[in-house]
Chains A and B, each alone.
Chain A
Amino acid sequence: MEAYLKSGKLGESSSKSSGKSAAPKKPKSIHWVEKYRPKAVTEVVDQSDVVSVLEQCLTGADLPNLLFYGPPGTGKTSTILAAARQLFGDMYKNRILELNASDERGIQVIRDKVKSFAQLTASGVRPDGKPCPPFKIVILDEADSMTHAAQAALRRTMEKETKSTRFCLICNYVSRIIEPLTSRCTKFRFKPLNENLAYERLAYICEQENVLIDDNDKLLNLLVERSGGDMRKAITWLQSCAILSGHKQKIGLQHVQEVTGVVPAHWLEEFLKVCKESKEFSALDSFVKKLLYEAFAVSQILDQLNEKIINSDEFNDKQRTIIGEKLGDVSFHLQEGGTEYIQLIELGNSIMKAYSIV
């Protein structure tokens, strides 16, 4: 590791940087998720509740302690970072302490690190003379991975430092945060982004980045639909498509299918066919093995099967219920770490059963 960290030609690079510090830098690699991260709270799409509260704070109202919760990619981290940037201008990095799940956040750290940060004085003017709020913000991102003991420690600190510090807790599930903390915060739920607004945002990025895309509307809609309101996912996918197509060739349906992991329809048809036509376990067994060799995400297979079964008139209500219930069980077991093979065999068997009761 040592050798690895010291790799490259140290002497050469340091002499160069001291010599001509303004040496033209290679353009920084650009990731659209970062490039199009909202810089101002008004740029945050489709989260009007929190945006309007923060806008008031920007014009002088006091900022409460905040709790943002909701699924990934809905703007939680971006919103608080944008607000901090607008409140404090260039020095915002000194005014925030961002701790996330990668940082050590045991009781001791909460007590020491957060406390000493909270105790720093914060003046009411920026270096450029403009006024700014006389407090700092502690951002506890991904707070649902903090232990309850650490959360309890945080509660003490939060009570003590109310004058000089605001807290912003961010999590996916509000149920993982202890009540004494949630009750001290103004809660905002971030919802999955509305499809139209997500579409507009993607279309805007396409325009800015000169993305060539076949059948513009249809493919962008497919990306939005598949992303389920997770904007990070949608943007990552869009850029992945652009990279895979080499930026010269147009993005096509095959790129979209590949990055979104859509399972080609013929696999689902074959699955149903095997279940319908065969009574033998060995037929199901070898089909499931074959399907797993393709490495599709099983959750994706389940979603698509569900859609297919709901929309197909091949099944009556009773059959749909049997399969639907099993889909639920299987998807739950899978999330909890169950073996993919067993889950698909179980599902297949219940589809066989459904076919047999016509």
Chain B
Amino acid sequence: MLLADKYRPKDFANLDYHKEQATNLKNLTKDGEFPHLLVYGPLGAGKKTRITCILRELFGPGVERLKMETMNFTTPSNKKLEIMTISSNYHIEVNPSDVGIYDRVVIMDIIKNVAQSQQLNVNAAREFKVVILTDVDNLTKDAQHALRRTMEKYIANCRIIMCATSISRVIPAISSRCLCIRVPAPEESVIVDILQSTCKKEDISLPPVLAKRIAQASNRNLRRALLICETCKVEQYPFSDDQKIPELDWEVFIKKMAGKILENQSIETLSNVRKDLYELLSNDIPAGVIFETLLRELLRKSDVSIRETVIKEAAEHEHRLVQGNKQIFHLESFVAKFMYVYQTFMQEMFGDF
């Protein structure tokens, strides 16, 4: 079992950071007023852990008896859909984005079912069940609109806990129906502490210098930090202060791509980069992430005088990308534009011999 899962705190008392928030969340579960929740924060900040604690506080250890099931749906156009769910007697969890543009059908079906089934167990601590929707920033607008009135209509028997990395993509009509809980990424020092204490439990000795380097490389993602730590251990144990810390494949890949672009602005490079972009997209790296990483790498190494133009182009291309469908076109067209701007600048600076 991964360290990140093995030592995931199960109740509020054992949460390692944001302790004041934990007290607030515990208050939340005390009476019948439990509202719909929207829990948001960056990857690996501990959203899921907090949701698990809330469920346990609401329903007791029974929520930990989980089953995984595949549910089947039929869309109005008679398309058959399948989706994985995780559930207990008290809750059900799905990631509606798994069915892409059909997310609305799935969400409505589940919520209506839950609301109708009520809490049949008279001894249950609560008269409602919980539906957990993960990744709601990727819900279609259609699905988000559908949630609005549903959240009000079925609130007596069904509470919804939504989980998102950023609240910006959730329409205000939904966030105004929830208690929104922000979960900031843990500070680097907190990550260092948790790395240390986790290693201690496993009888691993982790030098402070390495712990700090791992924390820095983790992008303040606790889960990632623990994964890196495990990978490091496989590669070399006992640890040394300066041992190599593995980077994410796709990040290395994008950095290399940026290197190519900066080195030579030509048709060949462009067609080479196109292949790279295809590869990234086909490995499910989101276009927004590619854009962000690429832009950062390019800006890091270009002159301040072209910065404004490059940023503006990036923003416009990305805007077209989220509007349209062919993502690759906009990424590629941005690269071409960058090459042009960069080359023009270099020629002006150093002359064209």
Interface residues of A (CB under 8 A from B): 1, 3-10, 12-13, 16, 26-31, 33-34, 72-73, 77, 100-102, 104, 106, 141-142, 145, 172, 230, 232-233, 236, 239-240, 243-247, 258-259, 261, 279, 281-282, 285, 289, 292-299, 329-330, 333-334, 336-343, 345-346, 349-350, 353
Residue of B nearest to A337 (CB): B322
Residue of B nearest to A23 (CB): B122
Residue of B nearest to A245 (CB): B27
Q: In the complex the two chains form, is A13's CB within 8 Å of B87's CB? A: no
Q: In the complex the two chains form, is A9's CB within 8 Å of B319's CB? A: no
Q: In the complex the two chains form, is A338's CB within 8 Å of B178's CB? A: no
| B154 → A minimal CB distance (Å) | 9
Cα distance, A10 to B122, chains bound together (Å): 9
| A241 → B minimal CB distance (Å) | 9
Known contacts A142-B145, A145-B142, A293-B42, A27 near B32 by CB under 8 Å: yes
Known contacts A100-B148, A244-B27, A333 near B319 by CB under 8 Å: yes
Q: Does B147 contact A (CB under 8 A)?
A: yes
With a cutoff of 8 Å between Cβ atoms, the chain A residues found around residue B104 in the complex are: 102
Flag B59-71 by CB within 8 Å of A: 1 or 0 each.
0000000010101
Q: In the complex the two chains form, is B149's CB within 8 Å of A101's CB? A: yes
Scan residues 147-191 of chain B and give those whose CB is less than 8 A from a CB of chain A: 147-150, 152, 155-156, 166-169, 172-173, 176-180, 182-185
Q: In the complex the two chains form, is A236's CB within 8 Å of B178's CB? A: yes
Cα distance, A261 to B155, chains bound together (Å): 24
| A347 → B minimal CB distance (Å) | 10
| A295 → B minimal CB distance (Å) | 4
Interface residues of B (CB under 8 A from A): 24, 27-28, 30-35, 40-42, 45, 67, 69, 71, 76, 85, 87-90, 92, 104, 108, 111, 113, 117, 119-124, 127-128, 142, 145-150, 152, 155-156, 166-169, 172-173, 176-180, 182-185, 219-220, 288, 291-292, 295-296, 299-300, 304, 307-308, 311-312, 314-315, 318-319, 322-323
| A305 → B minimal CB distance (Å) | 15
Residue of B nearest to A72 (CB): B173
Q: In the complex the two chains form, is B177's CB within 8 Å of A339's CB? A: no
25 contacts between A and B (CB under 8 A): A1-B85, A4-B92, A7-B120, A28-B156, A30-B32, A31-B35, A72-B173, A72-B176, A73-B176, A102-B108, A102-B146, A142-B145, A243-B35, A243-B179, A261-B180, A281-B304, A282-B300, A289-B219, A295-B183, A295-B184, A295-B185, A330-B315, A333-B318, A345-B299, A350-B308
